[in-house]
């Protein structure tokens, strides 16, 4: 994810910290699952490629959505 946890912690709106940190956690978990699926493809080859390639795409979509939410929440609140 492009947003760092430090950016969330340093944001002046502390009351929004809980939601922002949960969205960040969601994105990070999706990236971790994506990485596990990529490792399975490398380890198991063609057999796992069909199953894991879908998981990789889905997890990337979740991580991208989490990143967009954080960007809206962090950038939009500065205005």
- Break the chain into its structural domains and give their ranges: 18-76
pTM: 0.68
What CA–CA distance (Å, rounded) separates 51 from 68? Answer: 27
For residue 75, give every residue at least 6 positions away whose Cβ sits within 8 Å of its Cβ, in sequence order, or none: none
pLDDT digits (tens, 9 = 90+) for 24-79: 899 999 999 999 988 988 888 777 877 788 888 899 999 999 998 888 888 875 54
């Amino acid at each position: 994810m492009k947003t760092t946890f430090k950016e969330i912690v340093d944001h002046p709106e502390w009351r929004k910290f809980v939601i922002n940190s949960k969205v960040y956690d969601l994105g990070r978990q999706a990236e971790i699952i994506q990485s596990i699926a990529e490792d399975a493809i490398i380890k198991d080859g063609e057999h796992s490629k069909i199953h894991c390639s879908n998981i990789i795409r889905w997890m990337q979509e979740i991580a991208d959505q989490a990143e967009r939410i954080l960007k809206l929440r962090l950038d939009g609140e500065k205005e």
